[in-house]
Amino acid sequence: MKQTIPLIIVFGFGFFVIIAFFIPLSAFQDASQTFETWYTGVIAFFVFIGIFNIVKVNASKIQRRLSDWQYSIILLIFLALMMAAGFIGGPNGGVFNYLFEHMQIPLGATMFSLLAFFVASAAFRAFRARTPEATLLLIAAVIVMIGRVPIGYYIWRGFPDVVEWMMNVPNTAAKRGILFGADLGLISMALRVLLGIERSYMGGGRE
């Protein structure tokens, strides 16, 4: 039962949605639409088990005085503050927005901007002409890097066109090939999942 019911659910809902896609009758369309709404709702609702997990993990860290336990207190305080602000004052409330604007936004943007540095260190390390493949990677990267900025245009007026050609031709070709392959892999995996052949995602054993 622990295996069968979940497998029936995956099979039933999956194939229903696929079939409903081809049947314009309102009964099918409405049911399919309802399942889609439920599914977005259920996914979102799950965030509360996440919050529960954060509290549990951090509380036990504090209780057991594991290393860096003091920081867990900070985490829990700000979590409580943000949730209280949001659920009492609503998602447009003043405190909620203030914390979002002056803490979450700059923290996110700064974390994101670390990439400027990491792009440099990765380029320094990886772009070395060790093999023919690595050489292609290196040459393509350097051409585009220079051609994309105004100074490239200064050096040679044809640079932007070369960059555009590289993006349009080899880049498009390889990415399209990867996309096709990935989509096939995806469809085959989705089918294995729907048919219950692949069940390791739910910890299920072999057939």
Partner 1 sequence: MKFLERLENLDRRILFLLVGLAVIIPLIFPLGLPVDITRPVKSVFDRVEELPEGAIVVVSCDYDPGSEAELTPATAAFVEHCFRRNLRVYMMGLWPAGPELGNLSLESIAPRYGKEYGVDYINIGYRPGGPVMLVSLGRNVADLVRADYAGVPIDSFPLGRALKSARDIDLVMTLSAGDPGVLHWIIYFSARYGTPIATATTAIMAPQQYPYLSSGQLVGLLGGLKGAAEYETLIEMKARAVAGMDSQSIVHLLLVVFIVIGNVILLYQKRRI
Partner 2 sequence: MLLILLVLTNQVELKAFDTPNDDGSSITLNWQADTLFNSYFIFKSLNPDGDFEKVCEITDRTTYVDTNVAGGQEYYYQIEAYGMDLTESSRVVGPVKAIPHIFNTARINIAVFIVILFFAVIYYITRARRGEKLFIRKIPGIAAIEEAIGRATEMGKPVLYVPGIMDIDEPETIASMSILGRVAEKTAEYGTPLYVPTSKAMVMSMAQQVVKEAAIRAGRPDWFNIDNVRYLTDDQFGYVSAVDGIMVREKPATNFYLGKFYAESLILAETGFSTGAIQIAGTALPDQLPFFVAACDYTLIGEELYAASAYLSQEPVQLGSLKGQDIGKLIFIIVIVLGVLDRLVGLDILYNLFSTVQQ
Partner 3 sequence: MSTEIGVWIAALLTLAIYSFLYKDNPFYKVAENIFVGVSAGYWAVVLWFNYAWPNLFEPLIMRGNFIYLIPIIVGLMMFAPLIPKVSWLIRIPLTFTMGVAMALVILQRIQGEIFPQLQATFLPLIGVSPMQTISNLLIIFGVISTLIYFYFSKAHKGVLGVFAKLGIWFMMVAFGASFGYTVMARISLLIGRVYFLLHNWLQLI
Please provide the DSSP assignment of 156-192 as one string: -TTHHHHHHHHIIIIIHHHHHHHHHHHHHHHHHHHHH
- Sequence-separated (6 or more) residues with CB below 8 Å from residue 165: none
- Sequence-separated (6 or more) residues with CB below 8 Å from residue 207: 197
Please report how close the Cβ of residue 45 comes to partner 3 at its closest, in angstroms: 4
Q: Is 140 in the site for partner 1 (CB under 8 A)?
A: no
Q: Is 6 in the site for partner 3 (CB under 8 A)?
A: yes
Question: Quick one: which segment of 20-28, 91-99, 147-155, 161-169 binds partner 2 (CB under 8 A)?
Answer: 20-28
Residue among 18, 19, 81, 129 that touches partner 1 (CB under 8 A) = 129
Is 88 or 197 the residue whose CB approaches partner 2 more closely?
Answer: 197
The residue written with tokens 């949001």 in the block is 86
Q: Is 37 in the site for partner 1 (CB under 8 A)?
A: yes
Q: Is 3 in the site for partner 1 (CB under 8 A)?
A: no
Alpha helices by DSSP H, listed for the chain, are: 4-20, 26-45, 47-63, 69-89, 94-99, 105-126, 132-147, 150-155, 159-166, 172-194
Q: CA-CA distance, 60 to 51, in Å (whole number)? A: 14
Residue among 151, 186, 189, 190 that touches partner 1 (CB under 8 A) = 151
| Total residues in contact with partner 3, by rule CB under 8 A | 117
Alpha carbon distances (Å) from 94 to 18, 83, 97, 174:
44, 13, 5, 48
Q: Which does 4 bind (CB under 5 to 8 A by kind): partner 1, partner 2, partner 3, none?
A: none
Q: Which does 128 bind (CB under 5 to 8 A by kind): partner 2, partner 1, partner 3, none?
A: partner 1
Q: Which of residues 108-137 bind partner 2 (CB under 8 A)?
A: 108, 111-112, 114-115, 118-119, 121-123, 125-127, 137
Q: Is 43 in the site for partner 2 (CB under 8 A)?
A: yes
Q: Is 94 in the site for partner 3 (CB under 8 A)?
A: no
Please report how close the Cβ of residue 85 comes to partner 2 at its closest, in angstroms: 16
